[in-house]
């Protein structure tokens, strides 16, 4: 996401930082570039105008010009202002503290409501809450089935009624939830192709019948300014409590994400970054600004890792590393943990500087799968003790995993180098990566 914009900022900042001394003219020229980059990313023009005005006021002063690193100062000002535009502080979802708390989702067709409903249900379950998914879309024949399949996959009950109107269904669901100690009711409403009066009236009615704690507009970030207009109209009519931006993993240029808050005043609360049920992040203006400006997002990365990593396993691994007993088995487990964090590309993009460096490079997830297959074809003893793998076993392992013997040799060589590196690290002798130890390229 934001690929193009990240590149542009990278170029602009490089020029600014490299300039040493800056003149007012340098700064104004750079801001012109920033302005153009934002407009090309489809950011609302009024938002861009205000943004540039504020950055300019802050930048073109004695304080910046006379500072030791004026370029760096300006980067900081742009970052600060971007955080402001994105909403300054993260606004969390209403806490799940009633029986039931109600989240109502609305939005156009295909924006990702049902998917988000599933993600929220999964999140609630992980917090040991009891969720209930409510099928309030009676117009699309397959809608109820879709929600049922989703509910099954996360082990969450789905409430549905034949021959009833959505406001009644939602009201009944609320009553049902009260009786059955449900913590979180998630209303998955129907989408339309466009905003129409009928839809708005229906949503208003649902809202007044169930009084949701959270009324979220689900907006597709790929639709750019349309998403902004949509949010404006929904907010005027329904007084939303927040926006969930979806498909931020796609090649959305960023316009919607950057403009929605400033145009509508309604906070973005969630960022949906993929089709998998775990691909949901709380929206943090400061972290998002850092990502857009190519500074990475270490905090989100660490959070993702914490969610994916089994703490007990991590402690065990640490122990093994200390004892130099890191085996191919452990390596395989580590690969599984990393895979749980999501697609490698999105993980790498969060590391400062790496997003840009990786541009155009296809991360070969297939390479990882190949390595996995090779390790799986070994016996447990071989995984613990790869030295015992002889020529004939190599041929077998290669056959079993659909690889060549050369690849098996390469893996074993790289793994040996990695073991050596770990050994050196544990003796505090670590001075850098030995050649070829990473990243298991084949």
Ligand X SMILES: Nc1nc2c(ncn2[C@@H]2O[C@H](COP(=O)(O)OP(=O)(O)OP(=O)(O)O)[C@@H](O)[C@H]2O)c(=O)[nH]1
Q: Enumerate binding residues for ligand X (CB under 6 A).
A: 107, 109-115, 137, 140, 143, 191, 246-247, 249-250, 272-275
Q: For tokens 């040799």, what's the residue?
A: 409
Cα torsion angle, 58, 56, 288, 97, sign: positive
Nearer to ligand X by Cβ, of 27 and 150: the residue is 150
Nearest approach, Cβ of residue 192 and Mg ion (Å)? 11
Nearest approach, Cβ of residue 47 and ligand X (Å)? 23
Nearer to ligand X by Cβ, of 183 and 279: the residue is 279
Helix (H), strand (E), coil (C) string for 146-189: HHHHHHHHHCCEEECCCCCCHHHHHHHHHHHHHHCCCCEEEEEE
The entry of Mg ion, ligand X, none near residue 63 (CB within 5 to 8 angstroms by kind) is none
The entry of Mg ion, ligand X, none near residue 274 (CB within 5 to 8 angstroms by kind) is ligand X
> Which neighbouring-strand residues pair with 242?
216
Nearest approach, Cβ of residue 367 and ligand X (Å)? 23
The entry of Mg ion, ligand X, none near residue 110 (CB within 5 to 8 angstroms by kind) is ligand X
Nearer to Mg ion by Cβ, of 113 and 287: the residue is 113
Q: What is the footprint of Mg ion within residues 225-254 (CB under 5 A)?
A: none
CB closest to ligand X, residue no: 191
Lateral strand order in the sheet of 184-189: 157-159, 131-136, 184-189, 101-106, 214-220, 242-246, 268-272, 280-282
Nearest approach, Cβ of residue 140 and Mg ion (Å)? 7
Find, among 118, 120, 125, the residue nearest to 92 by Cα.
120
Nearer to Mg ion by Cβ, of 113 and 261: the residue is 113
Distance CA 217, CA 50 (A): 25
Using the rule CB under 5 A, which residue among 30, 73, 114, 300 binds Mg ion? 114
Nearer to Mg ion by Cβ, of 114 and 229: the residue is 114
Nearest approach, Cβ of residue 336 and ligand X (Å)? 23
Interface region with Mg ion, contact rule CB under 5 A, candidates 90-98, 109-117, 257-265, 406-414: 109-117
Binding residues for Mg ion (CB under 5 A): 113-114
């Amino acid at each position: 996401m934001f690929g193009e914009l990240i590149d542009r900022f990278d170029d602009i900042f490089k020029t600014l930082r490299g300039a040493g001394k800056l003149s007012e003219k340098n700064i104004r020229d750079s801001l012109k570039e920033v302005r153009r980059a934002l407009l090309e990313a489809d950011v609302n023009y009024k938002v861009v105008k205000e943004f540039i005005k504020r950055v300019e006021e802050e930048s073109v002063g004695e304080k910046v010009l006379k500072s030791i690193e004026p370029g760096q100062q300006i980067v900081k000002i742009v970052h600060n202002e971007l955080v402001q535009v994105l909403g300054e502080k993260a606004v969390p979802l209403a806490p799940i503290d009633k029986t039931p708390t109600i989240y109502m989702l609305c939005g156009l067709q295909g924006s990702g409501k049902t998917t988000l409903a599933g993600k929220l249900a999964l999140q609630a379950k992980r917090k040991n809450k009891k969720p209930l998914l409510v099928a309030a879309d009676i117009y699309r024949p397959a809608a109820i089935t879709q929600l049922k399949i989703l509910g099954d996959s996360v082990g969450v009950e789905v409430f549905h009624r034949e021959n009833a109107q959505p406001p009644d269904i939602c009201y009944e669901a609320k009553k049902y939830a009260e009786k059955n100690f449900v913590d979180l009711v998630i209303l998955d409403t129907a989408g339309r192709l466009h905003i129409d009066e009928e839809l708005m009236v229906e949503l208003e009615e649902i809202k007044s019948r169930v009084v949701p704690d959270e009324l979220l507009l689900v907006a597709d970030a790929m639709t750019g300014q349309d998403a902004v207009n949509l949010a404006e109209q929904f907010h005027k009519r329904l007084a939303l409590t927040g926006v969930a931006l979806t498909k931020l993993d796609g090649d959305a240029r960023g316009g919607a994400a950057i403009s929605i808050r400033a145009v509508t005043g309604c906070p973005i609360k969630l960022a949906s970054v993929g089709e998998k049920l775990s691909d949901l992040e709380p929206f943090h203006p400061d972290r998002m600004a850092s990502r857009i400006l190519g500074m990475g997002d270490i905090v989100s990365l660490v959070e993702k890792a914490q969610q994916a990593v089994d703490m007990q396993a991590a402690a065990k691994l640490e122990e093994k590393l200390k004892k130099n007993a890191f085996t191919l088995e452990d390596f395989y487990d580590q690969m599984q943990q990393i895979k749980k964090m999501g697609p490698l590309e999105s993980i790498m993009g969060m590391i400062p500087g790496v997003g840009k460096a990786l541009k155009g490079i296809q991360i070969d997830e297939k390479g990882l799968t190949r390595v996995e297959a090779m390790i799986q074809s070994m016996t447990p003893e071989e995984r613990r003790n790869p030295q015992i793998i002889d020529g004939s076993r190599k041929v077998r392992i290669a056959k079993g995993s659909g690889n060549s013997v050369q690849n098996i040799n390469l893996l074993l060589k790289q793994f040996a180098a990695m073991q050596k590196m770990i050994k050196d690290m544990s003796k505090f002798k670590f001075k850098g990566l030995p050649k070829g130890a990473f990243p298991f390229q084949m």
